[in-house]
Amino acid sequence: MGAGEAVRRFYRPAAAAEPIADPERVRAEWIRWRARMFFGFFVGYAVLYFCRKNISTALPVMAGDLGYSNTALGVIGSTLYVTYGLGKFVNGVLADRANVRAFLATALVVSGVCNLVFGSLSALWALSFAWGANGWFQSMGFPPIARGMTLWFPPAGKATRWALWTCSHQAGTAAVMAFTAWILGWGGWRWCFRLPGLICIGLGLALWFVMRDTPASCGLPPLDPFPDRKREPAEDEADYRATFVRLVLRNRNVWVIGFADLFAYVVRFGSLDWVPKFLKEARGYEAGAAGFSSAIMPLFGVAGVLLAGFVADRVFRGRYRAVNAIAFAVLGLALLGFWGIGPGHPLLDLALMAAVGFLVEVPQSILGAVAAVDAGGSARIASASVGLVGILAYIGATGSAVGTGSFVDAFGWDGAFYLWIGCAAAGLLLCLLVWKEPPVRGV
């Protein structure tokens, strides 16, 4: 058997097992396997962040050890966002036809290997290549989880389950920022990549044994993910293209929301990636303390994710665009306050970082849902709309890395806040353009 055939067999969907006939055993097996799969999806994605956001805490020490400018460090960071954005699309297509646990295990194991390699390099081109490769395998994490959540869980309670799972992003980011801050105290910046890499590899191998591909591979009956949805009539390719152009490419609201998300991502990833270095260089923190303190942003980001939709539905009665506009406005004020207070106020630093972490997650968590509704039309068109917004968002993420580094080199740390506050203001102005649009229901 050749290597190509071995790879195809590894990623091939698992064969169906002998169906379980006893209804009581079916019920018990559903409970058991759903718990294991959700555990795998949550912990697996959280630990992927151990090999993605570990660079935030390491940057201040890397800069001193390697002697690279902030712009050069930004180039390294931006390579992950470029490959992640491209890979998320490509791997999304591949994951629809692949084995869920094989895809997720590969993401964890190879991302861990990339981190081990990264922690042993010093040349700028080599670091950039390794971090870009890491971004590609990081992008293999979400698509199998999205598919697996549909395969293993019924539509009832979908919003609650996805909200809980989404917390894995922030939980992983907060945990790795605190963890790598501890590592800096004894092992230096290289171990901030080596140790998370080993953890990622270990978990990937463990999840291979803990998880399964589909319910059918465990002898369970398959779920219809949309039992109550009215089936859409067949749509030929010409009709689809015309609808896509009309409802997405020529839809002002979709573009407005997409660029608002772009600016949200500049602030979100710019602050997460660069605030630890800012605290060390401009506020006088030790590198470890800077990492621990910065972990408060993703922790409060969990609350932002969980409360954004609830507040928009219950308090603002579906006026998601108004919530986004308010969040951008207050985010700009929080950044202005954080910038202006100066050194010597650690409690104020923590409070304002918490506010930034909370507020930046509000537009990030609901802009995609608004884009899907604004596109109207079929589910395919809604997906295309969300995809376009996602592409713009990761352009913003890429710009956050090299853009923040370049602004800091050009204007000092004031330059970072010029960029972030400017992006918050731009997001606010874009949301004001669609403020009077009708309320969004059912997202």
Domain over 19-218 is classified CATH 3.30.1330.10: no
pLDDT tens digits along 293-317: 999 999 999 888 888 877 877 777 7
Q: How far apart are CA 205 and CA 106, in angstroms?
A: 9
Give the percent of the chain with pLDDT over 70. Answer: 88
pTM higher than 0.85: yes
Quickly list DSSP for 204-241. Answer: HHHHHHH--S-GGGGTPPPP-S-TTPPPPPP--HHHHH
Domain residue ranges in the chain: 19-218, 239-443
Nearest Cα to 257, choosing from 303, 320, 329?
Answer: 320
What pLDDT score was predicted for residue 437? 63
Query: Which residues fall within 8 angstroms of residue 409, CB to CB, at 6 or more apart?
Result: 69, 70, 71, 415
> Is residue 236 pLDDT above 70, yes or no?
no
Where does the pLDDT of residue 162 fall: very low under 50, low under 70, confident under 90, or very high at 90 and above? confident
Where does the pLDDT of residue 382 fall: very low under 50, low under 70, confident under 90, or very high at 90 and above? low
Tokens of 161: 């389950």
User: What angle do helix axes 54-66 and 191-210 make, rounded to 10 degrees?
Assistant: 150
CB of 334 closer than 8 Å to CB of 407: no
Domain over 239-443 is classified CATH 1.20.1250.20: yes
Judge residue 376's burial from the number of C-beta atoms within 10 Å of its C-beta, 0-12 exposed, 13-18 middle, 19 or more buried. middle
> Is residue 46 pLDDT above 60, yes or no?
yes
| Poorest-pLDDT segment among 143-152, 160-169, 199-208 | 160-169
Q: Which residue has the higher pLDDT, 97 or 54?
A: 54
